[in-house]
Structure 1
């Protein structure tokens, strides 16, 4: 049907408003949260490859530097405070600003002809993207694939194949979804950052953190914990170059190569669900095995969280992390304590440790919360250090858990010679126990019941809490 010229603007505006309304509703219902993971935080020379059609984009100007095609070998090298970009052995430029490698997918956009409700060659076309942006795309239909031509049509150009990027760095090669950004940060370090929708990020996190054999409901519980952790971290520091790293300093993230179809199904079935307390995402910390008790947050670390409270954990019992034994000679204990203190950022060094003294336990009575380490300093003087929370005790002694007892042995001259430590559990002991989730799932509990057991007073909300 032909429109009179005087009605074109009104019709166009109404259509834009309708499309923007639909787009906004869809965004609010699904969320499009993207997370930023620092894969390499101090690189010198990195390589990448693509399995589909990508583009290398200058993030400062928004211009496309080059197409990136399957089979090409690219390198990003640090050149003073700039990025030297090399394609198949030939340098194509040096850039002061950050660059991104993004897949050229030709994501469908809604188009509208000002001349006709039907799309025809020669018509003046307008594109309305999924965020409501309107662009006049002229009348060139070359390389456009018209998906529908009834009133409002969709067009796409390029490949719809799910693209993967292989990053070649100091720890080997791994494939990732999403895009890669490269930049020199304010400290002169070269960064490689994976920017990816949070749900796709979880595909590489959950199987890296929990075996698929732990049961479907346990995997769903882990998915919510990991999603909530990532969202909270992203919201807490939105202006940082990245909010997460790929190691257990955040959550272990193995990228595409870690994915499992069994685990992905658990993620998809809980898409957008997060754990909240008083309407805000919780610090959804988790660990491997409780040893029979979880703990209050302030006794393991320092901060009080009302949803991280201690409780007995009968569901966690397992043969992998219960009833372990560690034996140290005096020299081995001295070495281990010095290593642990360095990890904790404590500069003192023992020339010899000659006694451990338990001072206090956590509220559950299970874990050692405060311990004194007695011995001698490098200059031969007496040295005593107070280790003042349970996780620091675990790290200082190099143990799987701070849930332990110990017995010290003396030699024939009454001097400390060795120590036997017996304990249970693996990890800090706050929040979700992964082996406990496995046990609850095996007994028929669903993921909501699992999470409500390990996190006190929480609510599970859909749509990322919107």
Structure 2
């Protein structure tokens, strides 16, 4: 299928270029190969300029857009204006310890490219995409999340990276950055066994919609409701980024359980996993029901994924719930034949979705608190009384429905009284 053409920029070596934007543009970079041997390669001339023993390499910015390279503080110096690629040489595992200016040092897999940019020196980690994910996944989701949540996060992060390989311009000379603008990446220091295991178990798997990698955006906590991508960012509607309740009818949201698991405050039993999950589409009106600090609320809710995994759902069900209509495919670099392989489609319990429900804009928490303070409710000082008052005023909501809409984790005076 045409999937190969969509991701042709990811070559057989699987390497991608990660701009170390968090390190800034310092005047000096120091690189220490773990093996004690280094190769320095001139990317422009396509030739090796040094290969041998090295305990420390110092790269310093010079005037005129040039840089000076010193190996182990020797008198023999090298001057370049082209990009240089620094690679540790030796038996694996090998890595490069890097220090930008006076900043804290970081260790990275793969190679480090250094080149002059805007008066300083830019560092880029050229790394295998699977090694990249070993650092991204634990940087983006709770470290002790259940396996299924880690696997779902890995596939979402891999898909997001592949879809956005051209997010930075050619002028930047890298494909993704190491900050939240793309995905948080901190090298080897952030790697943990659980996340690395998830990367290996899902090697090469991505989500596709049609013939393209899906836009697998994710966020920390949706507060009980996922919102439509169009409501969050305007533009065209995305079929698999729809608004819906983050859970099963009659139960608390998945993110509610995920939050309790993260804070180690879960009491009682989790609900049993159900074979049938109905997604009730929601209008953009529910946007007012969640505290803004939980993220954009589009796509996969990470706390919700943790809750689903803890209840007993697998990564396929998690991805199907948050990206309905997408399919799993395996990248060609992870398949011996070199061709992409489509997995069986993932659906939500193989059930048709319920009829979309359009809701009018619900009252916001400020309005509820104002009613509570005014004493015009049946029971002064009671949120439940305020909800009854709003319901009686013709808003069209039942008190139960309003309680669900107003569920806001961690917000004093609201979350304690809603469920």
| TM, length-normalised to structure 2 | 0.65
Note if 1:93 corresponds to 2:74.
no
Secondary structure of 2:294's aligned partner: coil
Are residues 235 and 462 of structure 1, via their aligned partners in 2, closer, same or farther at CA, if it must alter by over 3 Å? farther
Secondary structure of 1:429's aligned partner: coil
Are residues 284 and 83 of structure 1, via their aligned partners in 2, closer, same or farther at CA, if it must alter by over 3 Å? same
Decide which of 215, 219, 224 is 1:283's aligned counterpart: 215
Give how far 1:308 is off.
Answer: 1.2
Larger displacement relative to structure 2 (194-203 or 302-311): 302-311
Note if 1:54 corresponds to 2:45.
no
Structure 2 residue aligned with 1:192: 123
Decide which of 316, 324, 346 is 2:255's aligned counterpart: 316
Structure 2 residue aligned with 1:266: 198
Secondary structure of 1:49's aligned partner: strand
Equivalent residues of 1:35, 1:230 under 8 A apart = no
CA deviation string 1:164-186 (max 9, x = no partner): 0011025411100000000124x
Decide which of 202, 208, 223 is 2:139's aligned counterpart: 208
Equivalent residues of 2:258, 2:306 under 8 A apart = no
Give how far 1:38 is off.
Answer: 0.6
Are residues 93 and 32 of structure 1, via their aligned partners in 2, closer, same or farther at CA, if it must alter by over 3 Å? closer
Note if 1:33 corresponds to 2:4.
no
Note if 1:427 corresponds to 2:366.
no
Q: How does 1:1-400 map to 2 (within 5 A)?
A: 32-40=13-21, 41-52=24-35, 53-67=37-51, 69=53, 72-80=55-63, 81-90=65-74, 92-104=77-89, 159-170=90-101, 171-185=103-117, 187-234=118-165, 239=170, 241-304=173-236, 305-313=238-246, 314-318=253-257, 363-368=283-288
Q: Distance in 2 between matches of 1:426 and 1:94?
A: 49
Q: Distance in 1 between matches of 2:217 and 2:52?
A: 39
Q: Distance in 1 between matches of 2:66 and 2:121?
A: 9
Q: Distance in 2 between matches of 1:172 and 1:302?
A: 40
Equivalent residues of 1:182, 1:190 under 8 A apart = yes
CA deviation string 1:117-143 (max 9, x = no partner): xxxxxxxxxxxxxxxxxxxxxxxxxxx
Equivalent residues of 1:181, 1:192 under 8 A apart = yes
Q: Distance in 2 between matches of 1:190 and 1:284?
A: 32
Secondary structure of 2:179's aligned partner: coil
Q: Distance in 1 between matches of 2:110 and 2:169?
A: 19
Give how far 1:433 is off.
Answer: 0.8
**Larger strand fraction of residues:** 1
Give how far 1:269 is off.
Answer: 0.5
CA RMSD across the alignment? 2.6
Are residues 449 and 160 of structure 1, via their aligned partners in 2, closer, same or farther at CA, if it must alter by over 3 Å? same
Equivalent residues of 1:311, 1:364 under 8 A apart = no
Secondary structure of 2:41's aligned partner: strand
CA deviation string 1:26-52 (max 9, x = no partner): x9xx95321111114522211111101
Q: Distance in 2 between matches of 1:308 and 1:430?
A: 7
Q: Distance in 2 between matches of 1:249 and 1:425?
A: 17
Are residues 293 and 206 of structure 1, via their aligned partners in 2, closer, same or farther at CA, if it must alter by over 3 Å? same
Q: Distance in 2 between matches of 1:188 and 1:298?
A: 40
Structure 2 residue aligned with 1:20: none
Give how far 1:189 is off.
Answer: 4.4
| TM, length-normalised to structure 1 | 0.58
Equivalent residues of 1:292, 1:425 under 8 A apart = no
Equivalent residues of 2:33, 2:96 under 8 A apart = yes
Give how far 1:212 is off.
Answer: 3.0
Are residues 363 and 189 of structure 1, via their aligned partners in 2, closer, same or farther at CA, if it must alter by over 3 Å? farther
CA deviation string 1:226-278 (max 9, x = no partner): 10111111156685511211111111112111111121111101000001111
Structure 1 residue aligned with 2:324: 456
Are residues 238 and 160 of structure 1, via their aligned partners in 2, closer, same or farther at CA, if it must alter by over 3 Å? farther
User: Which sections of structure 1, spanning at least 5 residues, go unmatched?
Assistant: 1-26, 105-158, 322-361, 369-402, 405-422
Secondary structure of 2:173's aligned partner: coil
